Structures are given as structure tokens and as C-alpha cells.
Structure 1
Amino acid sequence: MLKRYHILNGDSLKEQFPADLPGDIIVLRECLMDGPVHGKTPDEFYTVRAKFISKLDSDISESAYYDKTVPELEKIPAIPDNSDVTLWFEDDLFCQVNFWFATSLLFQKNIQLFLVRPPHHNRYGFGGLDTAALKVAFKERFTITETGKIAQLWEAYKANDSTNLLQLAGELESKYPFIKNAVQAHIDRQPQGDFPGRPKASLKTIMTELQTNNFGTIFQEFCKRESIYGYGDLQVKRLFDEVVAEGDSG
């Protein structure tokens, strides 16, 4: 019998995950679309990420990253051949970069790899699904056969190679149209000349239109308009603080 694994994009999904779905659960506790992702070896990569995460979130120390995140990451390449592995990831940039990363750790293995996505009509992603709906989503999982190209997306992302990202997204578009949307969102967030990048530009527009500097109000509106990014409050708060500081100094 095949050994089953489920790789989940975060603890919130783990908390609502159907207890009667067989398989070991691995939680990818990362936000790889934010911050540096370089490192020639896993140890170098963990060092870079631990330092960044501890600065991003004061509640997560570098030691906490090594205690809670690294052990889960190390479980992925340790999955044995001839396993049944299901990746649970949404379409936003946050989830997609983690999806590319997870696939890069698995693509050379002799495994059956599947992807589960929430239904299009659900604006809240997996968070809007109850146990029954999650089991339906699992039944509708589809086989990932283009593991090499998806793994290349991670390499192109690490290298900040927009040209290669777009090319790969185009080659994958017929089966994975959501990848191209995420790639374009990533490219759009890069500053160009006087343009601060799409997320900051959107924040400025929201602040002007709503005539407020209240972060809670702005964050809610940003999530509605820019759901493609999948940003959490910590990512948006950092951008918001930068926008405010730039306005004060302008």
C-alpha cells in the first residue's frame, strides 16, 4: 500500500483538516514570497530565513524557526519513493511560491504527486471550507506531471528571473492558468522608476480614497483588492509603514 502524505500551507488548514483523511501531515510554515530566499545549501537557506522571519515577526525567534519550521521542511525531501503526496495550496502568490518550493523538493522522486485547490467560487480559500467541503476538494485533486517545470519556477523565483518565470508560466498555462496570474503579480510588485510596485501603489490609492491612515481599515480593503498576493497583516503592515514614512519624508 502506498504511504500517503499531505503537505499543507499553514497551521490554520491543519486545524480544520479532516481527521478521517488518511496520511501523514506536513505543515509548510513559511512565507517564501517575502524576504530573501538564497542559500546554496539547506543550512544556509535556513539561516537566511530564520533571520528574516525573526525580524518580520517578533513573536518568532530564530530558535523558534529552527524548532517549528525547519523540522517540517526537512520532512518533505525525506518522503520515500512510491508515496502518494497531496499538496494543498491556493492560487495567490503566497501559496504559489510555497507550492513551487515544495515541488522542487519532490520532483526527482518516484512518487504520485497531486494538487488540491479550493473551489473558484469560494473567496476565502481553504479557510472558507468545512470538513465535508475539504473532503470534496480532496476527491477533486489532480495529478501533477509537470514537476520539473514547476520546480524550475522556484529556481527562477530565487534568481529573480522574470523572463524565465513568464516563459515557464506560459508553458504551464493550459493546465495551471493560476500560475501565470501569480507570476504576473510577483513581477508587478517590483518597483520601476517612480512606480513603487503594485502593492504600495494600491495602498496609496486606498489611503487616498478612504481618507484614512487606520491600518485595520486599510488592511481589509487591501485584501479585497489585492487578494492575488495572499499577504498577511505583517507583510501589509511593513509596506504600510514604508508608505507612511515615505509620505512623511516627501
Structure 2
Amino acid sequence: MTQKTVHILNGDALKSQVEDWLTDELIVARECLVDGDEYGDDLDSFYQFRAKFISQYEGYEEEDYFEKTVPEIEKIRRLPQHAEVNLWFEDDVFCQVNFWFCVHLLNQNGVHNLWLVRPEEHTQYGFGGLQQPELEMALNNRLKLDHQKEIASLWEMFKTKGVDHLNKMAVLFNDEYPFILNAINAYIRSIPTKDSRGEPLILLTQIIKDLKTQEFAPVFREFCKRAPIYGYGDLHLKRLLDNI
């Protein structure tokens, strides 16, 4: 049986960087799962909740989710069990939550030959700051995922807001994948409590004060510079700014 090789990419920007030289199937994870608070009990309800949530973003309708995001998720679900899957995700919270979700789907379907491709260094630019030779090097240095069941469980813990369980699980394989615990710790710091609005909102407030402007573009650039661990996209950050 010929082995099928697939690359699950963290966004369309990365697809544009690799589609000219990667000849295998490309699937794009068009989600921002770190943003939101309702994910449903099964995939059908997940699609409904996420489509409704994404429609809150300026310029997006529920139909867009079903036309652009759902088909890519369904491609992941239909992968054969013998497939070799390279997951291209970075170390930030945005990427990691999407990564856990993808591993969850693959684990459910019995696809176990999984590899993680990540930039050698974590920066605010991620894969976007790399040229083809560096992307090829990242692929050559990919990590075999030996804790698939545990990484898959991170999605369930995130979905149910099991913060304590997230931390404890990540500690178990921190020696092999320390970036996972770093992302979880940042995610925990982002959660509002009775004593804090959460680190991202606190940081945004400070940036507005430091720059003496609420203009989105410079605030967004400065947030990405100061807190690359979050990896938030512009639409997500705009939503946060509306809460200030």
C-alpha cells in the first residue's frame, strides 16, 4: 500500500509559501480556536457554534465558515489511517490550540504517523519570516509525535476549560515538548479572573498608553512584538480592543 503524505498547515499564508515546492496534499487549518467559549458536544454542533461565533468578525458570515473552514476539517477526518501527516504549527497559543484540535481529530480516526514541523526559533513572524531553504530545514528537523493521545486530550481539556488538567498533562511531556507548557501557561495568564482582566487586555491597555494612540495598526504591531507567545490574529485582537 502506497503511503499517503499530507501537510496540515497553520494558515493560508504558509500555504502560499510552500505550494510551489511541496507536491503532497496540503490542508489548511482555517480556525482560531483560542478565540471563543462554546465548542459544542460533537462536530455538528461544533460547526454551528463556530460559524455563529466567527460571524462576529467584521466581514465574515456564517456561510464563510461552512465554505472555507469546514471542508478543510473534513479533509482531516477523511485521511486514511496509514497516512503520514506533517502538522505545521508554531509555538504560540493561537497555533497550539489549533494543533491540539487537529491531533484530536487524527487520533479519533486512528491516524498515528504524525510529525510536528515548527520554526527553529519562536518569533513574532513564525513561518512567515522564513524562506524556502529554512522551511525545508524545518521539515527535515520535524518532531515525531509520540504522545498523540495525551496531546489530543489537551483539546478536550481546553474545550471544557480544564485549566488545572491542562497544566498537569503538559508537565508529563515537558522534556520532549516544552513549548506546549509555555503556551498553556500563557493561555492561563490570558484568562480573566476576579482580580485581573487577563494579560492580553492588560498589555493592550499599556500599549495604548505608551503609544498614545488607539489606532489599530501600530497597537497590533506592538502587541505582536511584546507578546509573540499569543500569536493572535488581527481580527481576534480587534475584538479584544473593543472590550477595553
State the TM-score, normalized to the length of structure 2: 0.95
Match of 2:82 in 1: 82
2-structure distance, mates of 1:115, 1:63? 31
CA 1:72/1:219 → structure 2, altered by over 3 Å: closer, same or farther? same
2-structure distance, mates of 1:47, 1:36? 13
What's the offset of the Cα at 1:210?
2.4
1-structure distance, mates of 2:240, 2:111? 41
Match of 2:11 in 1: 10
Confirm or deny that 1:27 pairs with 2:25.
no
Match of 2:104 in 1: 104
What's the CA shift string for 1:102-158, capped at 9, x where partnerless?
000112414311000012165411001122221111111111010010011000000
1:212-231 to 2 correspondences below 5 Å: 212-231=213-232
Q: Which moved more, 1:102-111 or 1:179-188?
A: 102-111
2-structure distance, mates of 1:222, 1:121? 15
Q: Is the 8 A contact 2:79 2:111 kept in 1?
A: no
2-structure distance, mates of 1:48, 1:33? 14
Partner SS for 2:243: helix
Q: Is the 8 A contact 2:123 2:228 kept in 1?
A: no
Match of 1:61 in 2: 61
Structure 1 residue identity aligned to 2:82 = N
Confirm or deny that 1:40 pairs with 2:41.
yes
1:87-166 to 2 correspondences below 5 Å: 87-108=87-108, 109-120=110-121, 123-166=124-167
Structure 2 residue identity aligned to 1:33 = V
Q: Is the 8 A contact 2:10 2:28 kept in 1?
A: yes
Structure 1 residue identity aligned to 2:120 = P
2-structure distance, mates of 1:20, 1:84? 18
Partner SS for 1:107: helix
Q: Is the 8 A contact 1:33 1:93 kept in 2?
A: yes
Structure 2: which 5+ residue stretches go unaligned? Answer: none
What's the offset of the Cα at 1:26?
0.6
2-structure distance, mates of 1:63, 1:129? 33
Match of 1:248 in 2: none
Q: Is the 8 A contact 1:18 1:135 kept in 2?
A: no
State the TM-score, normalized to the length of structure 1: 0.92
Structure 1 residue identity aligned to 2:119 = P
Q: Is the 8 A contact 1:4 1:22 kept in 2?
A: no
2-structure distance, mates of 1:190, 1:149? 23
Q: Is the 8 A contact 1:18 1:131 kept in 2?
A: no
CA 1:20/1:209 → structure 2, altered by over 3 Å: closer, same or farther? closer
Q: Size of the alignment, in residue pairs?
A: 242
Q: Is the 8 A contact 1:104 1:152 kept in 2?
A: yes
2-structure distance, mates of 1:168, 1:16? 34
What's the CA shift string for 1:193-232, capped at 9, x where partnerless?
2311100010111122222222222211111111111111
